[in-house]
Amino acid sequence: MVSLHGGHSGEFCEHAQGTLRSTLEEAVRRGFRVYGVSEHAPRSDDRFLYASERAKGYTVARLGREFDEYARASRVLQREFRGRLEVLRGFETEAVPRSGYAAEMRALACEHGFDYVVGSVHHVKDISIDESPAHFRAAADACGGTDALLERYYASVVGVIEEIRPQVVAHLDLPKLYAPEGAEPPGPAARRAAESAIEAARAHNCILDLNTAALRKGLREPYPSAWLVRLAKDAGVPFCFGDDSHSPGQVGYGIPRARLYLLRLGVETVTVLRHTSEGIRRQEVDLTQP
């Protein structure tokens, strides 16, 4: 059991529950060897606050303070769990505002000495696409339709890969969460945009997050869908698992099913990051061994 994307906790994320410590205890209990925690980067402008955050009076200043506290707490817990669980300290990027996000994300990575970065895009045309169906529709309308949204989304993923060089690329086809039925696979232009994102991941040596949050939210397939897994596999891009947990109860959710999914699509290894005497290094885990 390994995961490189997850460990969001109620301590440092408004839409998560539980403490980071209880999440890591649960990872130990569930037999994880390596567990990457990747709290959301703080958004830097109040217009990007989620409705649920606004309702509770959150400000970007508070997001920033909580993130600093996450950076400190994760370092303490990493040390505390040593010998029981290899904790990797990371964070999940935002790609807003379009001008300036890359410098902000690079500064966060540097300032807090994170082990790795999870590259994510949650906004298209500055509108969040995974907050609610209404938000997704607003973003699609702003783009001129679902396929046009997908094109822009994948172009942003390429931007994140090229600008931030994340080790892991998160939930590659996140827009499918609220995309209308039948939007998948998308039309030719959006497909080409998705192929470009996979090509960028290959060129920059990224690992793709086989993310089980989609299963938890009732979708048929995890992120990414089978057609994208096949493209990535043919391009030689490796995968890791991400439970994208937002509470201790979600730790490890869907990973056994995700393993079978990858095996069915001919992917026989996942890649994890490990601490070594030479710094963070990759290691392959064989999925064919039960």
Cβ closest to Zn ion, residue 8 vs residue 89: 8
Cα distance between residue 199 and residue 187, in whole Å: 18
> Residue with structure tokens 């906004």?
123
Nearest residue to Zn ion, scored by beta-carbon proximity? 120
Residue whose structure tokens are 């192929």: 195
Looking at the Cβ atoms of 92 and 268, the one nearer to Zn ion is 92
Q: How many residues bind Zn ion (CB under 5 A)?
A: 2
Q: Looking at beta carbons only, is 121 or 143 nearer to Zn ion?
A: 121
Closest to Zn ion by CB, 120 or 271: 120
CA separation for the pair 184, 195 (Å, rounded): 14
Minimal distance, residue 163 CB to Zn ion, in Å: 17
- Rounded to a whole number of angstroms, the minimum distance from the CB of residue 118 to Zn ion is 8
Contact between 242 and 212 (Cβ < 8 Å): yes
What is the nearest approach in angstroms of Zn ion to the Cβ of residue 286?
28
CB burial readout 214-250, b (16+ within 10 A) else e: bbbeeeebbbbbebbbebbbeeebbbbbbbbbbbbeb
Residue pair 284/277 in contact by the 8 Å Cβ criterion? no
- Give the number of residues written for the chain: 290
For Zn ion, which is the closer residue by CB, 120 or 225? Answer: 120
CB closer to Zn ion, 9 vs 120? 120
Closest CB to Zn ion among residues 119, 252:
119
Candidate list 9, 23, 38, 120; residue touching Zn ion; CB under 5 A: 120
- Tell the smallest beta-carbon distance from residue 287 to Zn ion (Å): 24
Report if residue 23 touches Zn ion, rule: CB under 5 A.
Answer: no
CB of 111 to Zn ion, least distance (A): 21
Binding mask 95-114 toward Zn ion (x if CB under 5 A, else -) reads: --------------------
What is the closest distance, in whole angstroms, from the C-beta atom of residue 106 to Zn ion in the complex? Answer: 19
CB of 246 to Zn ion, least distance (A): 6
Are residues 283 and 61 in contact, defined by beta-carbon separation less than 8 angstroms? no
Binding site residues, Zn ion, CB under 5 A? 8, 120
